[in-house]
Structure 1
Amino acid sequence: MDFSNHKVLIIGASSGIGKATAISLSQKGASLVLVSRNEENLKEVVAQCTGQGHDYIVIDVKNGKDLEEAISSNVRNTGIPFSGFVYSAGQEGTIPLKFIKEDFLEDILKTNTVPAVLVSKVLIKKGNFSKEGGSFVFISSVMGRLGQPAKVAYCMSKGGLIAASKALALELASKKIRVNCISPGMVLTEMSSKILDSVGDENADKIRQMHPLGIGEVKDVVNGIEFLLSDNSKWITGIDLLIDGGYSAQ
């Protein structure tokens, strides 16, 4: 795929799926604006990207007003609107129901769900997104469709992201903006490796057995992201693409 003349905003770009997406898109010619609260990691990602002119924004996605200004400012300063948006920021949360507090639920939603909608609102402002249209891709989770004990907050937030993408797909179709979700199963990242290490060998084996094709690789998800960003998916909007190694087929 060729992403020359594409400018893509990636939120949650300092690690995992977001990082791998940035590096892969840069190799295919895309111009990138990367967002994360970790400046050191963002600098490392930019250094690994191919090509010139990539930019990064150091900000917490919960700071909605600052994030809005930073995105709009980038367009004003460069004169180049975005044509793609990937929301890959996420916060894991495993707490049994009896221990859940309201502020914990709000914190998960303010990271996993709310910013994707607010950034979408910023991007449709005049001049911020290509008049030719483009694509938004939200990274949800198989847990947005399926339940798991002690993950009510996480499941709720990821399910909300799927629902939001479908509503936005209908609302933004007239602007030639496609909006889709990807729901991965467990893929090998720093975060997932820590989870597997923390649960013990027996539970880690159970998690692996939940994926008939085995634990995935980040590239498996990146391939889906690039497909949904590209013109190859120009007649696809409002879907939730499951990339889960068969997890949800059981």
Structure 2
Amino acid sequence: MALRGAGEGGTAPRRPHPPEHASGVGLDSAAVRHAMVQRLAQQGLRHEAVLHALAAVERHRFVDTALVAQAYEDTALPIGWGQTISKPSVVARMLELLCEGRALPLGRVLEIGTGCGYQAALLARLCQEVYSMERLRALHERARENLRPLRIPNVHLIFGDGTAGFPAGAPYAGIIAAAGGDDIPSAWLQQLTVGARLVAPAELEPGRQHLVVVERTERGYERRVLESVWFVPLKSGTA
């Protein structure tokens, strides 16, 4: 896993100890993850590669010890610093939208909002290369701690302001965001290659976010507005 820095910012308060990981037989067994995946399939998730990724990546390794019993429930969980790990069903939906109808693995993909690193680990199984940006230094470091033992070679963690994207890695075959602003930043659209797809929440009306899918074609950009969702607000700068 490569680590890169982008931009400067103050260091957010650190926890006194890194999060511990679960070691109980129940949460370490593949059966628990497979049960979660089966529930998602029953709810309508059909993309085989996304299902396989969800079955392979251990979500309980990305949450605090006190919350591991809820790791495979379909619920968002706090990961500190006012952020959450999204519900498995929401993560699965966004990954399916990113991948559906496209040859896998995708090429280079940009993730805005690394959080605890869970979605980056999933993307690594669906893409050739993942650039994942986080604006909170403490979360950036936590994701690095979470991902290091997994030895994932195609994930690059970047500390920086995701609202500007990451031009150094562009163009991207896909962009996926875990935070929603008033609209899709133009910088993200410009960093898509022709044939690429973006999946992100956006607050298109006051107090209400929707999932937005944007395809870049030779003629321009094609946008679809889908179901209502709720993500943390997209913020600029670093902290």
**TM-score, normalising length from structure 2?**
0.29
Which has a greater percent of helix? 1
**TM-score, normalising length from structure 1?**
0.28
Which has a greater percent of strand? 2
